[in-house]
Structure 1
Amino acid sequence: MFEMIRYEVADGIAWLYLNRPDKLNAFIAQMNREVGVAVKAASNDEEVRCIVITGEGRAFCSGQDLAEVDENMDHGQVLRDHYGPMIKQLRECEKPIIAAVNGVAAGAGFSLALACDFRLVSERASFVNAFIHVGLIPDSGNLYYLTQLVGHAKATELAMLGEKVTAAEALEMGLANRLIPVDTWEEDVNAFAARLAALPTKAIGLIKRSLKAISTLSFEDYLEQEAQGQRIAGLTKDHREGVNAFMQKRKPVYSGQ
């Protein structure tokens, strides 16, 4: 089904590997499409309760493959046709998405990591808003997410100067949720994903809805959406399991329902 990515599901976790290691997992149109298809498949799969996106080889994703760029290309149409639909698919997904940044995340690879809910970062990873180095602006939702994470001033700096951000710097400025040693990379990523997969999945989806609504609703409208979301959460099996487990003084076992 896929040629540019590798997709596997195990123990409630969907693993999506960008799979062009000889090109540092640079994007081509087919990879954009396949990422979107895989995220949609994971979203619709009741067995999947967490999604992990990572890269094969030594890079996470180096951005657009410049070998596909020519002087007659309409870059705006490329975004509308390929990158926009991919990023929208991530945004619409109501399951937790982890970017396991194993190496460089540059350009649209940086944007892809920003669009995920969590960024687990290897000690040898780095981020580069490389668009400015080829006379372009950050795209694929980059500045939308970046300003939320690091603030307007720092986002301006990263966008206009295009300087490399090390893994340690990413953690310090709030780009990364966890900085993971190379020696324990796979173990720690697996443990973090398993932890998310064991949580109440429906509640996580409702949290994601609330977070998206913050910037678009008035406070009064937000409170109404919050009430609607809590009503839905209160009807889930996981809510009942959580209450029962608390009353019985045991650890809850959530089903994602």
Structure 2
Amino acid sequence: MSNFEKINYTLENHVATISLNSPKTMNAMSKQMRLELKQVIDTIEADKDARIVVIRAEGRGFSSGTDLTEGLAGFDTIEEQILQEYKPVLMGIAQSKKPYIASINGACAGIGAGLALACDLAIMSDDSFIYLAFAGLSFVPDGGMAHHLVSAMGYKKAYQAFLETARIKADECLQYGFVNKVVETSQLDQATKAWAEALAEGAPLAQRFGKEIMRGVHTSTVEETLDLEAKIQITCSTSKDSASAVNAFFKKEKPVFIGE
């Protein structure tokens, strides 16, 4: 994993940490960064030792969005670029069996915000903001941003924020549910690490299947959700982890999960 140029990667205490590492460009998402993100996401998905994934950034901002200096970076159209390089990264997170946490510092703009909001959970420093730069460049939202904005804010507020190229501050992000926690800037890395390591002690099967169920709620009926819950509960309730956890419960001990 040491051959990366635009990201850093570590794995410790079952927490896989991906750090965007192009601080001179405010972590603009270049072609190289996109390809490396896809590679590391695939690697993490296959690694049983990685239970929780953190995406963070080096430097003074999470991401300034697409690296506009590269143009289409070899593609004929921007549609091809999005579908072939961005979509695999974003869907890799959404469809992963593992929880992803975005740790957001500074500016989080454009499709960089799409990357952060694709994660299952998010923590943000109190001086950070999501910047909807799209309309100011005569672009529409991309990277799934329209979905995230409307789901959190409702259509009218989301469309207004898009039109006005809004900077959504940390306290507003918390209010709308874009993020789960807001902490002081100096505490962001420490708070992210503590949260991720605490979650890494949880039950991998419950985390995996709970994510699958909840990710599908908006496109399912209550009956469909109930049926899926019942079906998946067979796998969870008959697992080694469930038996061990029930036994630990009666003994008043802390369960240890192995993901089986």
Same fold (TM over 0.5): yes
Do structure 1's residue 38 and structure 2's residue 75 form an aligned pair? Answer: no
1:161 equivalent in alignment to 2:164 = yes
Match of 1:200 among 198, 203, 214: 203
Separation in 2, partners of 1:132, 1:207: 36
CA distance in 2, matches of 1:159, 1:56: 27
* Deviation of the 1:184 alpha carbon: 1.9
**SS of corresponding position for 1:61:** coil
Aligned residues: 256
The answer to whether the 8 A contact 1:104-1:126 is kept is: yes
Aligned-pair CA distance for 1:124: 2.0
Picking from 124, 128, 144, the partner of 2:127 is: 124
State the one-letter code of the partner of 2:181: R
Alignment match, 1:235: 238
1:174 equivalent to 2:177? Answer yes
* Distance in 1 (alpha carbons) for counterparts of 2:252 and 2:193: 28
Give the counterpart letter for 1:108 in structure 2. Answer: I
8 Å Cα contact 2:103-2:188 kept in structure 1: no
Deviations 1:160-197 (A, max 9, x none): 21111111221122212100112222221111001111
Mapped to 2, the partners of 1:251 and 1:155 lie a distance apart of 43
After the TM superposition, list the runs of 4 or more consecutive aligned residues in structure 1 that deviate by more than 3 angstroms: none
AA in 1 matched with 2:170? A
For 1:170 and 1:214, the matched residues in 2 are separated by 22
Q: Does 1:3 align with 2:5?
A: yes
1:62 lines up with 2:64 in the alignment: yes
Match of 1:15 among 14, 17, 21: 17
Contact 1:107 1:128 in 2 (8 A): yes
**Any gaps of 5 or more consecutive residues in structure 2?**
none
Give the aligned CA root-mean-square deviation in angstroms. Answer: 1.5
Q: Hey, what's the Cα distance between the residues in 2 that align with 1:153 and 1:144?
A: 13
Question: TM-score when scaled to structure 2?
Answer: 0.93
Does the 8 Å CA contact 1:40/1:93 hold for their aligned counterparts?
no
Identity of aligned residues (%): 32
Q: 1:255 to 1:130 in 2, by over 3 A?
A: same
One-letter amino acid of the structure 2 residue matched with residue 124 of structure 1: D
Q: SS in structure 2 opposite 1:6? A: strand
Change in Cα spacing, 1:147 to 1:241, as seen in structure 2 (3 Å) is farther
Are positions 1:84 and 2:83 aligned together?
Answer: no
- Partner SS, residue 102 of structure 2: strand
8 Å contact from structure 1 (residues 241, 252) kept in 2: yes
Distance, in Å, in 1 between the alignment partners of 2:209 and 2:69 is: 41
> SS state of the match for residue 232, structure 1?
helix
Moved more, 163-172 or 201-210: 163-172
Alpha-carbon displacement from aligned partner over 1:6-54 (angstroms, at most 9, x marks no partner) = 1111110001001100000001112112112211211111000100001
